[in-house]
Amino acid sequence: MLKVDSIHTYYGNIRALDGISLEVREGEIITLIGANGAGKSTTLMSISGITKPRSGKILFEGKDITSLPPHEIVSLGICQVPEGRRIFPQLSVLENLDMGAYLRHDKEGIKADLDYVFELFPILSNRRHQSGGTLSGGEQQMLAISRAIMAKPRLLLLDEPSLGLAPLIVRQIFSIIERINAEHGTTIFLVEQNANMALKLAHRGYVLQNGVIVQTDTSEALLADNKIKEAYLGL
């Protein structure tokens, strides 16, 4: 579904990605794990078109999307939930969700997806008229994921959904991510510092270090790997 082929991404003279290659197959949950500053967010932003790679290629279903603007990448079916949620704080929950469906015209489908996100996160339904900025951190993360679902993505990019949230809320959100993958058929590319939870959820994983992929395997194999245990799982 997605093929990232040797991309190099820079911020001015700082090289954040040094020739990253990876693949995501339809229906998978893939995770990219790595320490602070390894380049995880930059990888997602390169895919969603926000930070353009200086060289290399990104193919989505065979189409070269490397130099497309972000809104065209969204309309092809890739949607990113950015780190730190970035919901619209002044807008209500419903208005935030409407913004997610901005590029869609299928009224029936939009209504069905709205019912679906309210079923996934009933708390958002209760708070539908409340402004986004007054929600708790966990609820804002739920809203950010729901807003992305409203765009009807086939590939959902999630940047550190666990960041700053209590363990109970993180478990709730991860189980919903699993449901979205299983029930909605959405392919998931998850970036996480919480490697333990991410690998337990994902089918396969990539390990990123200083802008380079240093390891890839099934999640079971990565969870059992002594180097990974020491460096990322705190075991």
Q: Does 49 bind ligand ATP (CB under 6 A)?
A: no
SS3 165: coil
Looking at beta carbons only, is 42 or 96 nearer to ligand ATP? 42
Amino acid at 89: P
**Quick check: 58 and 109 in contact, CB under 8 A?**
no
CA–centroid distance for 56 within its chain: 21
**Quick check: 104 and 181 in contact, CB under 8 A?**
no
Q: Does 11 bind ligand ATP (CB under 6 A)?
A: yes
Q: What is the DSSP string of 123-143?
A: HHHHTTTSBGGGS-HHHHHHH
Least gap, CB of 117 to ligand ATP (angstroms): 26
Give me the torsion for CA of 56, 60, 62, 67, rounded to 10°. -50
Binding-site member from 22, 33, 38, 87 for ligand ATP (CB under 6 A) = 38
Query: Which range of residues in 36-44, 130-138, 142-150, 199-207 is near ligand ATP by CB under 6 A?
Result: 36-44
Binding-site member from 42, 48, 141, 146 for ligand ATP (CB under 6 A) = 42
Binding-site member from 40, 85, 127, 147 for ligand ATP (CB under 6 A) = 40
Return residues touching ligand ATP (CB under 6 A): 11, 14, 16, 34, 36-42, 83, 193
